[in-house]
Amino acid sequence: MTKHQLVTHDGELLEAPLASYLETLGATQWSSKYQVVAIMGPQSSGKSTLMNHVFGTDFQMMDESRGRSQTTKGVWLAKSPKDNAYGPTLVMDLEGTDGRERGEDDTKFE
């Protein structure tokens, strides 16, 4: 399974690589029937883990043995291997909204 960084840690949209990634997925052949699901919430709350279990994605998950810290940086996109009657599902994993690493004044992902 492949995933693609859609927005960098600095808030920059990676538009050209996104088009290439969608082409790789065959998105131009999809009808208008597809879903996009995103998750947002506090840092280290299990967002990536939940998406991986529900949608079969492979977003990087926090390693608890190394302590709680930021894992997802920016916004990542993956296609779920679990297609259904409604068509393909694109899954977005967003950086935690209250990351300590960003400091209180950085609100790019709030």
Phi-psi region of 68 (alpha: psi -120 to 50; beta: other; left: phi over 0): beta
- The Cα–Cα gap between 49 and 39 comes to 11
Is the pLDDT higher at 103 or at 58?
58
**pLDDT (tens digit per residue) in 18-77:** 888 888 888 888 877 888 999 888 877 788 888 889 999 888 766 666 655 556 677 888
Rg (CA), the chain: 15
Q: Return the pLDDT at 102.
A: 52
Domain limits at 39?
Answer: 32-101+106-110
- The Cα–Cα gap between 61 and 108 comes to 21
Nearest to residue 9, comparing CAs of 71, 88, 83?
71
Structural tokens at position 70: 């930021």
Does residue 11 lie in a domain region?
A: no
**pLDDT (tens digit per residue) in 31-44:** 778 889 998 888 77
Over range 72-93, report the average pLDDT: 84
- The Cα–Cα gap between 107 and 13 comes to 16
Confidence check: pLDDT of 108 > 70:
no
Does residue 94 lie in a domain region?
A: yes
Q: Check which CATH number belongs to the domain holding 62 and give it.
A: 3.40.50.300
Q: Return the pLDDT at 55.
A: 92
- The Cα–Cα gap between 80 and 78 comes to 6
Looking at the structure of the chain, the number of domains it has is 1
